[in-house]
Amino acid sequence: MLPDHQDVTRLLQQWKGGDRQALDQLMPIVYDELRRLAARCLHAERPGHTLPATALIHEAYLRLMDADIGWQDRAHFYAVAARVVRRILVEYARAHCRQKRGGGEIAVPLDEAVIVGPEASSTVLELDDALQRLAAIDERKAEIIQLLFFGGLTYDEAAAALGISAATVHRELKLAKAWLSRELAQSQS
């Protein structure tokens, strides 16, 4: 039986308060959720890619457990997890581009851009650059993209994390995707 959102929030707060047993209860829940997040991020990847989902979730998990953050609730935890996963994917892509430079770039729709591998390393970097430019113009739209695509949150969870309505998430996501699509198309031409 899966714990509800309040249980996760309670465990996060107890853990940060020094309760070691809360961390023991929280670990399997968070790990399973991170595993689903990694699988979602890497679902379109070719078999045998060089960054397996297990490595991605282990790295994200370690970074999250070492973070000195006063967790507000479950949505806050997974919003931070989205940022961590994005950072790991970008670091991996940068390292991969340093190893193998060159052509073969393929245009990838935003929904499929969150993949890792030789053919996608430059796309992840371009997406990260575009998200940074979007954040400079409209930080909330960039955060919505990050929460939904890197964090795997639902519209309702992203709305709760940002303190806005799900309808606002949907509306701003449309605008953000259009802006990012234009930016990515310009960077590939």
Each domain of the chain, given as residue ranges in start order, spans 5-188
Closest of 3, 161, 145 to residue 73, by C-alpha: 161
- In 35-82, the DSSP E strands lie at none
Percent of residues, the chain, with pLDDT higher than 70: 76
Closest of 112, 183, 107 to residue 142, by C-alpha: 183
Residue in the block written with tokens 């929030």: 9
Residue 144 one-letter amino acid: I
Encoding tokens for residue 117?
């591998």
pTM flag (> 0.75) = no
pLDDT recorded at residue 172? 92
113-145 pLDDT, tens digit per residue, is 444 444 455 667 788 888 889 999 999 999 898
Give 67's DSSP letter. -
CB 141 within 8 A of CB 103: no
Highest mean pLDDT: which of 77-81, 85-89, 128-132, 170-174?
Answer: 170-174
CA atoms within 13 Å, Cβ hemisphere of 113: 28
Highest mean pLDDT: which of 74-78, 93-97, 165-169?
Answer: 165-169
Long-range contacts of range 112-115, CB-CB < 8 Å, 24 or more positions apart? 112/44, 113/149, 113/184, 114/41, 114/89, 114/149, 114/150, 115/41, 115/42, 115/44, 115/45
What does the alpha-carbon distance between residue 8 and residue 128 come to, in Å, rounded to a whole number?
Answer: 30
Closest of 115, 108, 92, 109 to residue 41, by C-alpha: 115
Under the banding of pLDDT at 50, 70 and 90, the label for residue 4 is: low
pLDDT of 103 over the 90 cut: no
29-79 pLDDT, tens digit per residue, is 888 888 877 777 766 454 555 677 777 888 888 888 777 788 888 888 888
pLDDT recorded at residue 112? 45
What does the alpha-carbon distance between residue 3 and residue 33 come to, in Å, rounded to a whole number?
Answer: 12
User: What mean pLDDT value characterizes the chain?
Assistant: 76
Encoding tokens for residue 182?
């234009």
